[in-house]
Amino acid sequence: MRRASLPERPRYAESACPDGLERRSSTRRFASACSAEAWDFSRAEEVWTRLAPLTPRGRDRKEDRAVYGEEPILESLYDQVEAAIEILERLEGPALDRLRHRLSRVPRLPEALDAGSSLEAADLFLVKKFLVNYAAAVGLLDARARAAFSLGFESGELRALLARGGSDEESFFVSDAYDPALAAVRARARELDASLARMRGDAESSAERELGLAFRGRSFIVVPVGEAARLDGPARAAVAVEPYDSSRCVLRLSLAPEAVRAEAEREGLLDEERALEAAVVERLSDDVASEAARLRSYEDALGDFDFALARALLARDLGLTRPAFRPGSLVVRKGRLLPCEDERKGDGLGYRPLDLELGERAAMVFGPNMGGKTVALQTALSLQVLAQAGLFVPAERFESEVHARIVYAGAPRPGKAEPGREGDGLSGFGREVEALQSAWEAARAAGAFVVLDELGRTTSSREAAALVAAAAERFAAATGTRCLLATHFRGACPSEAVARLRMAGLDREAARAAAAGGRLGGKDRLRAIAQLMRYEIVRDDGIEAAKGSDALEVAALLGLDEDIMKAAQAHYDRES
Amino acid sequence: MRLEASALSGKVVFISGDGRGSGKTALLAYAMGLLRAEGERPAYLGVGLDGESERAAAVAGQFAQGRGSLVPCLPGELFLSSERYLRSSGCEPEIVALLPGSGALGRLAIARARRPGLAVLVGPDSNELAALAIGLMRGELGARTVLVDGAFNRITQVASFPGSVFFVATCVSPADLAGKVKAMRRLALLADLPELGAGAKEDPDRSAVEAGLGTRAAWIEGALTASTLDRVGVETRTIVVEDFTKVFLEEPALSCLLRDRSLAVERRIGFGGFVARLRDLTWEAFFEAIRDERVESLVLRNPYEEGVFA
């Protein structure tokens, strides 16, 4: 398997997160070649969310949302997914459940391991729990799987050392086994505890028998003052009387001199025990520190494995395929925008995957409103983003190039405000220009995958057409760049370096028949339009567009007033 | 009425007090004793911190900056404490889980006592962590009963566990008898509010009808105060809140509201009763002041004063 070194990730302060709850910023991005706008427009988050790594390092990787711009790294990540898929094929049912159980119990190694400071008992607990579950997880894998992810284990001695402190495989305490002196101190403490318990029991029995007082495990009781005054005889010394209120007092069992001596001795033993425990923790801390680098390498390797396994499970569950990188090409065969596919299916509508083959560096995509331009762009962008995030993609075939940046300029998705853009004083057109310039700078700097949706939507059609054509030409000429541009404006004709594509659009005859059939309401109307729309990308020869307006047909289907429709058609025919 | 082990066993038991000196920590110790006598090994933790537990910890001497209750543990019992207090704990604690994050007292750990000894309960700052700790104790760590020593305002999250119940320790003297009785009546009213169940927030009207309260119900997000009540339209007949701890109406306003309209909760929190400790007051005088059968039925006598004679 090819292995490319991934960028070093920062380690986090939350070292004590063994049990699944972590507090980390959900907005944090790491080493991303993808702009926030592109990530959002592509709906990649909705796929990313489905990843379910189990270890803290695996969850870090998910949280990073890293999108890479280097092919060797991506090929290495894909190799890992393939290796993990093979492991899944070999590990069936209960074995996979056991592996996942072990992974889910792996804690984050303590921060102090790197800081060079002494470890505390809680740190030793984490190291022990890590080693136990790491070793068990690795033990469930065959040699091929271990080799594929560099999952070695050479810390048997340390594991055995820590295993001496704990009544089960994960728990930890400073056990007697670490120090005979500690064992002796504790043995004496246990003797004293037993003796004190016995004396306490005897005192309770005596108080009950001789004074008629029932303490029964209570450290004190409250009795009427008169009852306290009634106590006399030698047994009277067995209880201490304290005031409570005007009519009651508190009685406590008095400690016999022997018990007082035993308690004092036990107190002294506690101090001795703490000092001995601290020395044991210090020694164990040194033992762990001497293996710190190895432990960290286990943690890194397991993080890689866990995240690869999560990606492999996603690939298996969603039918994803490995992307291929070929210079100069963009090929999408049956590419799916998963969230959209789910929504369509949820609404009982069909879903047509995207087919697209593009040799040109830039393409303009025309088509009517509701014709699927935006979804086509989202699909292509989503595939590119997911591929560069190291995931397999929802397509029968996806060939592309690795781009240094992935950028999007266009309207935010419905319901998604542009972050941080409130009150910046820019008009809609100003923002469009700013976003276009930003995309251009990314493309010019090192090449980019650029998606421009409805460029020029905030200005007149003539100016917009000029901007669209100019942008398409320039992006087509930028090295290492691929630009997909959706627009309504056919006015200006860019050079042949820019592909002209269109959405196949409405089946107009069927649309007219449907419109003549009467008005449809609400969801039925949208369903009807969806069924009449051919959501596929074809080369645009300009002939189909000359045959009529999909937009007017759609307006009719949407139920626009008949008089307005007739007038609009007349205007359209005159202009044509 | 006397506190029995059966009222506690198998539950998440939230023990709260109505102020300093209420007897909360003594009640916790007594509850532990009841469960131990039945052969149980209860787990315990503190949530929220108040003066009483601070004082209890400070009394322990070595815990000069004590911020949690000091409890005597027996072998096999689970408790939540901080790294710092575990080091000085006398029960030979074995760490069985760590909670995320770290505070001034270090990380919070669930530990199991290996021998009899004292431990300081240190509570998590957040309700989420308290819930996580309780979930771990009841789940993989196998505790049947969890005792929670907590400030009253932290009850919501803890009480979300099925089968949870809360008790309020109260110390009553002649000087505060009237006020305490009023507060008890109020709490008894709140604890008995009708429960609408899940879905009350989304569709309060339907939930209210199903509970036999009639239509025109309104969900109040967060606290129900006099000012939020003013904003509720007069046509609204039923007001619905998450649970009774969201009601911040004093007794007269609450009674007035309940006369004219219905007040309901999405989730009822099981109330075990008031554990009363009287000072310079007889039980007869106390019950005479209460004069309410429902409140009387919720009073448990000071367990350190009950059954003291053989």
- Compare all CA atoms of chain B with the CA of A16 and give the residue at the minimum distance: B100
Q: In chain A, which residues have their Cβ closer than 8 Å to the Cβ of B30?
A: 218
Radius of gyration of chain A (CA): 36
Q: In chain A, which residues have their Cβ closer than 8 Å to the Cβ of B110?
A: none
ipTM of the complex: 0.85
> Residue A257 pLDDT more than 50?
yes
What is the helix (H) or strand (E) element at residue A334, kind and residue range?
Answer: strand A330-335
Q: In chain B, which residues have their Cβ closer than 8 Å to the Cβ of A246?
A: 280
Three-class secondary structure of residue B253 per DSSP: helix
Residue B297, number of CB atoms within 10 A of its CB = 10
What confidence tier does A411 reach under pLDDT thresholds 50, 70, 90?
Answer: confident
Give the full edge-to-edge strand order of the sheet including A354-358. Answer: A324-325, A397-400, A330-335, A354-358
Query: How many CB contacts within 8 angstroms connect chain A with chain B?
Result: 114
Residue A175, number of CB atoms within 10 A of its CB = 20
Looking at residue A368, its amino acid is P
What confidence tier does A221 reach under pLDDT thresholds 50, 70, 90?
Answer: very high
Strand locations in B28-163 (E)? 43-47, 69-73, 78-82, 94-98, 108-112, 117-121, 146-150
Percent over 90 (pLDDT), chain A: 56
> Residue A186 pLDDT more than 90?
yes
| Strand bridging mode A330-335 / B270-278 | unpaired
What residues 392-421 of chain A have any CB closer than 8 A to a CB of chain B?
Answer: none
List Cβ neighbours of A5 (8 Å cut-off, separation of 6 or more).
none
- Picking from B98, B100, B280, the nearest residue to A125 by CB comes out as B98
Residue A307 CA: distances (Å) to CA of A394, A477, A526, B229: 18, 38, 40, 51
- Compare all CA atoms of chain B with the CA of A225 and give the residue at the minimum distance: B280
Angle between helices A522-532 and A550-557 (to 10 degrees): 150
CA A233 – CA A230 distance, rounded (Å): 10
For chain B, which residues lie within 8 Å of any Cβ of chain A, measuring from their own Cβ?
29-30, 33, 36-37, 83, 86-88, 90, 92-102, 106-107, 109, 112, 114-116, 128-129, 132, 136, 173, 278-280, 282, 302-305, 307-310
Looking at residue A113, its amino acid is L
- From A484, A463, A488, select the one nearest A545 (Cα to Cα): A488
Are residues B304 and A218, on separate chains, in Cβ contact within 8 Å? yes
- What is the least distance, in Å, from the CA of A221 to any CA of chain B? 5
Q: Vertex B33, ends B32 and B34: CA angle to 5°?
A: 95
- Picking from A122, A209, A219, the nearest residue to B98 by CB comes out as A122
Are residues B307 and A214, on separate chains, in Cβ contact within 8 Å? yes
Percent over 70 (pLDDT), chain A: 86
Q: In a mutagenesis test of the B interface, which of A204, A205, A218 is the best target, namely the one with the most B β-carbons within 10 Å? A: A218
Per-residue pLDDT tens listing for chain B (310 residues): 788 899 999 999 999 888 888 888 889 889 999 999 999 999 999 886 544 444 444 444 333 333 467 888 999 999 999 988 898 888 999 999 999 988 777 899 999 999 989 898 888 878 888 889 999 999 999 999 999 988 777 777 666 777 789 999 999 999 999 999 999 999 999 999 998 888 788 888 888 877 777 778 888 888 899 888 888 888 888 999 988 888 888 878 888 888 888 899 988 888 999 999 999 999 999 999 999 999 999 999 999 999 899 8
Phi, then psi, of A216 in degrees rounded to 5: 45, 60
- Picking from B29, B102, B115, the nearest residue to A193 by CB comes out as B115
If you average pLDDT over every residue of chain A, what do you get?
Answer: 85
pLDDT digits (tens, 9 = 90+) for A59-112: 999 999 999 999 999 999 999 999 999 999 988 789 999 999 999 999 999 988
Q: Which of A193-207, A392-406, B43-57, B88-102 has the highest mean pLDDT?
A: A392-406
Q: What is the pLDDT of residue A124?
A: 97
List Cβ neighbours of B11 (8 Å cut-off, separation of 6 or more).
B145, B146, B163, B164, B165, B270
- What is the least distance, in Å, from the CA of A193 to any CA of chain B? 7
Q: What is the pLDDT of residue B230?
A: 86
Are residues A218 and B33, on separate chains, in Cβ contact within 8 Å? yes
Distance spanning both ends of chain B, measured CA to CA = 19
The answer to whether residues A409 and A449 touch, using CB atoms and an 8 Å cutoff, is no
Residue A125 token pair: 């607990």
Residue A98 CA: distances (Å) to CA of A54, A92, A95, A139: 13, 10, 5, 11
What residues 9-28 of chain A have any CB closer than 8 A to a CB of chain B?
Answer: 14, 16-19, 21-23
Q: What is the pLDDT of residue A576?
A: 64
- What is the least distance, in Å, from the CA of B191 to any CA of chain A? 30
Using a CB–CB cutoff of 8 Å, tell me whether A189 touches chain B: yes
CA A170 – CA A136 distance, rounded (Å): 12
- What is the least distance, in Å, from the CA of A176 to any CA of chain B? 11
What confidence tier does A519 reach under pLDDT thresholds 50, 70, 90?
Answer: low
CA A369 – CA A555 distance, rounded (Å): 9
Q: What is the pLDDT of residue B51?
A: 40
The answer to whether residues A247 and A224 touch, using CB atoms and an 8 Å cutoff, is yes
> Residue A135 pLDDT more than 70?
yes
Residue A169 token pair: 């495989």
Q: In chain A, which residues have their Cβ closer than 8 Å to the Cβ of B115?
A: 186, 189-190, 193
The answer to whether residues B141 and B97 touch, using CB atoms and an 8 Å cutoff, is yes
Q: In chain A, which residues have their Cβ closer than 8 Å to the Cβ of B86?
A: 121-122
Using a CB–CB cutoff of 8 Å, tell me whether A221 touches chain B: yes
Are residues B95 and A189, on separate chains, in Cβ contact within 8 Å? no
- Picking from B86, B136, B304, the nearest residue to A221 by CB comes out as B304
List Cβ neighbours of B149 (8 Å cut-off, separation of 6 or more).
B15, B24, B25, B28, B44, B45, B46, B47, B53, B69, B71, B121, B123
Looking at residue A538, its amino acid is V
Q: What is the pLDDT of residue A136?
A: 97
CA B67 – CA A563 distance, rounded (Å): 79
pTM of the model: 0.84
> Residue A520 pLDDT more than 90?
no
Q: In chain A, which residues have their Cβ closer than 8 Å to the Cβ of B175?
A: none
Higher pLDDT, A573 or A74: A74
Residue A461, number of CB atoms within 10 A of its CB = 12
| Strand bridging mode B146-150 / B43-47 | parallel
Residue A335 token pair: 């590419």
Q: In chain A, which residues have their Cβ closer than 8 Å to the Cβ of B36?
A: 217
- Picking from A19, A216, A245, the nearest residue to B280 by CB comes out as A245
H helix intervals, B159-203 = 177-191
- Compare all CA atoms of chain B with the CA of A204 and give the residue at the minimum distance: B310
Using a CB–CB cutoff of 8 Å, tell me whether A547 touches chain B: no
> Residue A333 pLDDT more than 90?
yes
Q: What is the pLDDT of residue A20?
A: 29
Looking at residue B98, its amino acid is L
Average pLDDT over residues A310-321: 96
List Cβ neighbours of A227 (8 Å cut-off, separation of 6 or more).
B309
Q: Which residue has the tokens 């710190």?
A: A292
Q: What is the pLDDT of residue A415?
A: 60
Q: What is the pLDDT of residue A231?
A: 78
Q: What is the pLDDT of residue A21?
A: 31
Average pLDDT over residues A114-121: 86
DSSP type of residue B137: H
Average pLDDT over residues A405-419: 74
